[in-house]
A and B are shown apart, each in its own frame.
Chain A
Amino acid sequence: MDNTQSTAASHLPSNAPLLVLDAAARTYDGASKVRALLPTHLPINRGDYVGIVGPSGSGKSTLLNLLGLLDTPTGGRYLVGGVNTADLSEVPRTALRGNVFGFVFQAYHLMSRRTVLENVELGMVYKGLDRQTRVERSVEALDRVGIADKADSIPQRLSGGERQRVAIARALAARPEVLLCDEPTGNLDGANSGRLLDLLESLNSEGLTLVIVTHDSNIGARPTRLIEIEDGHAVERR
């Protein structure tokens, strides 16, 4: 049933920017209030390649979590496809997260005892897709990231670069609109980092919106748009 659908979020209204942080801020309540992200205005359009850079603890991950609907702003608004996400209850919010966003993390977060194919399939399990469709899409995604021959391996036997490709394939197979990457090359050496970024950029050139959070200034040189964060204050540099 979903076979005909090219991208999961294609139903979202296309006249507005895909994602808009409208004076969105995030404060953590606790013993002392922590203002992790000061009111930020950031529109992201379809096909953008956005880099978010800054030192550790500057608020990069907070920004990424807000963008990915993993966290809720405590001030301002966050619009996805023109819809204010603050109005969404748990189910539509989860549905939106699962359909619009794909996630890639520094630590890969793969199920270590399941095969690569099973790991990639996981991205589609909660869409209610049948097994055959999931396998087809998984093989396609693994092929796209260049490790189709590893489908039956278990992640423990793969190199760091290969594991991150499995994580990317897992995100891709679910056909997201936006790929959110949190330090995707954090555990990789220079050569592997370069190849992985090449892959991500080629996906971006095919229309995938790409947001990469990094503290590595070398990587920060590559995105077309660059947001720099320091002490919760986000500034668009490029």
Chain B
Amino acid sequence: MRVRGSGVRIQLERLGVAVPRLRKRDLIADAAGEVLTRPARTLLTMLGTALGVGALVATVGIGQTASNQVSSRFDALRATQVTAIDLGFGEPLPPDTDTRLANLNGVVSGGEVWVVGDQIEVAPRSQPDSARTVSVLAATPGGLEAMGLQIHEGRLFDIFHHARAEHVAVIGVGVARRLDLARVADRPAIVIDDIPYTVIGVITSSRRRPEAVLSVIVPSSTAVASMPDGGNVREVLVEVAPGAAEVVGRQLPLALTPLEPDRLLITVPPSPENLRADIDTDLDTLLLILAALGFVMGVVSITNTTLLAVMERTSEFGLRRAMGARPRHILAHVLTEAAALGTAGGLVGMTLGILALTTIAAANTWTAVISPAVISLAPILGTLTGLIAGVYPAYKATKIEPVEALRR
């Protein structure tokens, strides 16, 4: 360019002509006209962007919805439970396990609960011949409490029974029926290995050990003394206050087996924070891949179509140049068209994404949750896609020589 700045103004003044200019409103109306008069092409072009934005909106929405579900349907039972498996192979845990557990902050109740055998013959004392095979559990009073039992009749055994290794049993309502036992008030008894046990209670359910309904539960001291062959895997069951699971889980080995901290295999529930973070991390990766794919698709398809359109409309751009359009006007024109395509794709994608999200949420009876930020970001992302896609075709369009273009 030979003359710049004020020189241009002087030249224009001398010629008595004004700088060619293009109003923004006209630019947008012109581009919109071009996009709207070719609906089929517009639709196909914005498909990529629409899919990309749609995938993004749906994925983020599903992430947010799922995260919301995690907090609302959070498993309170599991979250307040810590279990430990004793890998000591029969070595007894300290006799004051219940007390040690109770002394830990955050523990509601806790103690040993372990399976003595799951195929043990049990007969009512009144009818020694009608034996049934049931499973027998052993528990300390703390463990019994931690099982979350619902008592149907009678009572649970306690420290007194445990300390004295009394031959008492708490049985599930299923066992009581199978053995056709009398009411607890009539002091029925059952026989295991020729030793009678007085049934002091019948339970109808157990929150933490549902199988207890079909079992006979005896004090663990009794089991150790009277059924020496049974159960070499001891377990500890602890009910903790909400939020205390992790801390209790860490303290458990030190409280019960301080000399062999690795003897206990501790299981704590996943913390809600970790759970949500896990979901978020999974979704973040998926989301990034989907979104990136969508945008690449969007950019490629818009670049393609716009480039094709520029070639198709070479004579039109040549004519525009002849009629006073500056290269920058042509640049703005093509970019605006591409941006309009991108924006339209973004809007359609957003609609599709929300539609997909609500459909998925409805099918799962979830409440669809999506942040307004994502919704307002969708068309902006579309516009951006269009702008990026438009750069190369727009640059090509500015290189159209009117002479060449108009010869066609």
Contacts and interface: CB of A to CB of B under 8 A. Distances in A.
B19 A91 contact: yes
Nearest to B318: A109
Interface string A160-198: 000000000000001000000010000000000000000
B320 interface: yes
A107 B37 contact: no
Given A87-B2, A90-B326, A91-B12, A127 B33 contact: no
Interface stretch (B92-100, B139-147, B241-249, B399-407): B399-407
A89 B2 contact: yes
Contact of A89 (B7, B30, B323, B406): B7
Contacts of A65: 403
Contact of A70 (B7, B25, B30, B402): B402
Nearest to A154: B37
A90 B37 contact: no
A214 B210 CA distance: 100
A89 B20 contact: no
A81 B407 contact: no
Contacts of A100: 17
Interface in B1-35: 1-4, 7-8, 11-12, 14-23, 25-26, 30, 33-34
A81 to B, nearest CB: 7
Contacts of B3: 87-89, 92
Nearest to B329: A126
Interface residues on A, range: 35 or more
Interface residues of B, number: 43
A169 B337 CA distance: 26
A154 to B, nearest CB: 9
Interface in A117-164: 118, 122-123, 125-128, 130-131
B1 A127 contact: no
A97 B15 contact: no
Interface string A62-106: 000100101100000000110100011111101111111101010
Contacts of B11: 83, 87-89, 92
Contacts of A114: 33, 37
Interface of A is mostly: mixed
Given A88-B11, A122-B319, A127-B18, 14 more contacts: A61-B407, A65-B403, A70-B402, A87-B2, A87-B11, A92-B8, A95-B12, A97-B322, A98-B323, A103-B406, A105-B319, A105-B406, A109-B406, A126-B324
Interface of A: 8-12, 61, 65, 68, 70-71, 80-81, 83, 87-92, 94-101, 103, 105, 107, 109, 111, 113-114, 118, 122-123, 125-128, 130-131, 174, 182
Interface of B: 1-4, 7-8, 11-12, 14-23, 25-26, 30, 33-34, 37-38, 315-316, 318-327, 329, 402-403, 406-408
22 contacts: A11-B17, A87-B2, A89-B11, A90-B327, A91-B20, A92-B17, A95-B20, A98-B323, A100-B17, A103-B319, A107-B406, A109-B315, A111-B316, A118-B33, A123-B323, A125-B30, A126-B323, A127-B18, A127-B324, A131-B26, A174-B324, A182-B406
Q: Which 4 A-B pairs have the closest CB atoms?
A: A98-B324, A11-B16, A126-B324, A113-B37
